[in-house]
């Protein structure tokens, strides 16, 4: 783990930041862009990168299945793994992204404890839901940084697919 001072985050001042929140996604093919998401707790960020097409994307979803709230899924499909992940890929395909070349990383899925010290296991459910959707789509997961108990901030560089996960005072590259 490195300290925050050594990360590539300071370079962001010269880059275009695409900040996404819960239930949002972004795709870019502009070198120099950095896709960022904050407060990644039990949610999962699905990060995709095609090194040949130079396309990267990130989805920050909250819940596993749209069937638990079809109305919300209609209005905010990116909130759910099963509706959000296909949207992310569809958007990436518009930029020449190839599923066969996809490098896919999952980040998040922390167990955020409730007041009574228990958790609903949402982080675990979200991680499994993401893997299920990706397997159904015929996409392998290349790496993951999931679990734990703390919220994360995640940066994805569109230029080279490099990722940094920040957790408190330290960060690590994926």
Partner 1 sequence: MRILIVDDSAMMRAMIKRVIKLADVPVESILEASNGREGLELLQKHDVQLLLTDINMPVMTGAEMLREIAANERWRGLSRVIISTDGSTVRREEAADLDVRCYLEKPFSPEVLRDVLNELADNELAETD
Partner 2 sequence: MSSTNSRTTNLPKLTNPEAASAMFDAVRTVAEQSFFAVAEPADDRSFGVAASKVPRWLVATVVFEQGALAGSVSCTLPEKLANGLFDAFTGRDPAEAAPVATLVHDLVGEFSNMVCGAWLTRVESSRTFTLSHPSVEPALTPAAAGDLRLVAAIDDLPVAVDLRLQPLRRVNGAAQA
Minimum distance, C-beta of residue 132 to partner 2, in the bound complex (Å): 4
Minimum distance, C-beta of residue 25 to partner 1, in the bound complex (Å): 23
**For partner 2, which residue of 20, 92, 131, 165 counts as binding (CB under 8 A)?**
131
If binding is defined by CB under 8 A, does position 81 make contact with partner 1? Answer: no
**For partner 1, which residue of 100, 114, 117, 118 counts as binding (CB under 8 A)?**
100
Residues between 109 and 128 that touch partner 2 (CB under 8 A): 121, 124-125, 128
For residue 146, list its beta bridge partners.
Answer: 108
Q: Rounded to an integer, what distance in angstroms lies between the CA atom of residue 80 and that of residue 67?
A: 9
The answer to whether residue 43 is catalytic is yes
Minimum distance, C-beta of residue 102 to partner 1, in the bound complex (Å): 11
Report what 128 binds from partner 1, partner 2, none; CB cut-off 5-8 Å by kind. Answer: partner 2
In the 3-class helix/strand/coil scheme, how is the chain assigned residue by residue?
Answer: CEEHHHCCHHHHHHCCEEEECCCEEEEECCCCCEEEEEEECCCEEEEEEECCCCEEEEEEECECCHHHCHHHHHHCHHHEHHHHHHHHHHHHHCCCCCCCCCEEEEEECCCCCCCCCCCCCHHHHHHHHHHHHHHHCCCCCCEEEECCCCCEEEEEECCCCCEEEEECCEEEEC
In the bound state with partner 2, the residue whose beta carbon lies nearer, of 120 and 172, is 120
Minimum distance, C-beta of residue 134 to partner 1, in the bound complex (Å): 9
Footprint of partner 2 on this chain (CB under 8 A)? 121, 124-125, 128-129, 131-132, 135-136, 138
- Catalytic positions, written as ranges: 43
């Amino acid at each position: 783990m490195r300290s925050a001072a050594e990360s590539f985050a300071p370079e962001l001042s010269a880059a275009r930041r695409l900040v996404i929140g819960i239930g949002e996604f972004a795709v870019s093919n502009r070198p120099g862009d950095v896709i960022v998401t904050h407060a990644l707790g039990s949610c999962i960020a699905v990060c995709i990168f095609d090194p040949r097409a130079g396309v990267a994307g990130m989805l920050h979803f909250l819940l596993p299945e749209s069937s638990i709230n079809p109305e919300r899924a209609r209005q905010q499909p990116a909130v759910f793994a099963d509706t959000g992940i296909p949207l992310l890929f569809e958007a990436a395909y518009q930029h020449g992204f190839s599923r066969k070349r996809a490098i896919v990383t999952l980040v998040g899925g922390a167990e955020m404890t409730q007041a009574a010290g228990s958790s609903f296991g949402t982080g675990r459910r979200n991680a499994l839901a993401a893997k299920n959707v990706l397997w159904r789509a015929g996409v392998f997961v290349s790496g993951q940084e999931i679990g734990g108990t703390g919220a994360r901030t995640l940066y994805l560089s569109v230029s080279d697919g490099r990722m940094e996960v920040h957790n408190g005072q330290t960060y690590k590259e994926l």
